[in-house]
Structure 1
Amino acid sequence: MTATLSTSVDGLREERIGATVVFTLDRPKSRNAIDIALARRIEARLDAVEADVSVRAIVLAGSPPVFCAGADLTVINEGRISELSTERGGFAGLVKRERRLPLIAAVEGAALAGGCELVLAADLVVASETAIFGLPEVKRCLVAGAGGLFRLGRKMPLNIAMECVLTGDPISAKRAAAFGLVNVLSEPGDALAQAVALAEAISANAPIAVQESRAAVLATTYADDESAWVRSAQAMDRVLASEDVGEGVRAFLEKRPPQWSGR
């Protein structure tokens, strides 16, 4: 799949590959740490991408050699840590944000502190075998306040999450994959390509069905069965009311690839 020309503004590089938008944190001299301009840029571009019905998935990567070292410590040292969060999206304009589109993290190198919390905010994770994940905040008398304290234990065994949080020591991608944090373990340097391939597999499906299924999984996984049945039925009703449900059936009967409208 041919990519469009990439652009980089305020530390965020962006390119379009088919129905996928790739965001790359682009502050390599600062280990892709999130500063104020980058946080605001991420939120603004998420607003634009979420409003574009032709986009089916988002991939988040980092300029080599790391994914993201977290918050820019110079901003924290200036007492401006609150400015690294937006009202809508939280840290980096992303970790608290409600989204319609699936987000895949493509991790090469270190994903530490807020960088790890960006990964935890993603729906799926592709990581190089040489990647590492860590929440080292306790080593600096901080806490993983951008979702790490509760999301890590939802994505891997609680005792392993507790070890990571309390020691502040990182774990390898291979260990993270064994515990379920990583969906795809790639060769070094191949995480982005594998993440785009995963995004393309998602994008081949009916966009309304993907978005409704994603939302229902997030809403029901920890819900009681009664609430989960109601939410599942709501998702089914919305999908059956779409134009694409008819296209999906016709394409199957006619033995051809479906042409999704997103309506």
Structure 2
Amino acid sequence: MSTESGRIAKRFAALKAEGRAGLVTFITAGDPDLETCRALLDGLPAAGADLIELGLPFSDPMADGPAIQAASLRALHAGTTARKTLDLVRGFRTKDADTPVILMGYYNPIHAYGVDRFLADAVAAGVDGLIIVDLPPEEDEELCIPALKAGVNFIRLATPTTDEKRLPAVLQNTSGFVYYVSIAGITGTASADNAAVAGAVDRLKSHTDLPVAVGFGIKTPEQAANIARVADAAVVGSAIVTRIADGLDAAGKARPGLVEDVLGFVRDLAAGVRRARG
């Protein structure tokens, strides 16, 4: 399957036909344990997630704030590996053939796995895209180019500090969509200024025909709706991961009702996104 005709392209085309933005949800693979994560992953599409980002747990997630760092550690303590992450996607695909799944994380676990083997196994499992935050465009031969050749979208981040000189390099081999990081800094901290986001989306769209998804700092259905008015998708990660953490007992185990509570929050976010454009 080519990156131009895959699930991500089809989903954004369908959203455009519906006249609305999408909701992209992030959870960390194996957080708080593989069984609970499997239930969350399987339930996200019905709760309103249009695309799913699944975090590859890593011991040093330097671009992430405390919530996602803690989620990564919980997942690692639960025994989650890159192979088990792909197993989660494989299981998800037996129930859902259409919702795009994007793995988000850092290069180290993929490098340790072996790039060619990882890409072959990712394609076989049903992975649609990769967001690898610590590989700049100068390192495209390392993973980006092999991923594109394998039919896996390679999604790049643009930030408020990505200037006109840098932007062409960022966009050159990007596919699927562009992920605009609406604030400078780590995930799950400040919230974005709506006018600044609208201007940034316009600027990106003057350089690319790819959809633009906006994330970092979206915590409420109202904030998701604000983003959905100006972008092609709103990405919510830390707020969902925090909701998972809130459902754990003192020993870090999932309390009864955690999955239903998190999916209920996703439904509220989805409702905000869906009503954003009237």
Q: TM-score, normalised by structure 1?
A: 0.33
Higher-RCO chain (CA-CA 8 Å, sequence separation at least 6): 2
Q: TM-score, normalised by structure 2?
A: 0.32
Flag the structure with larger Rg. Answer: 1
Task: Point out the structure with the larger strand share.
Answer: 1
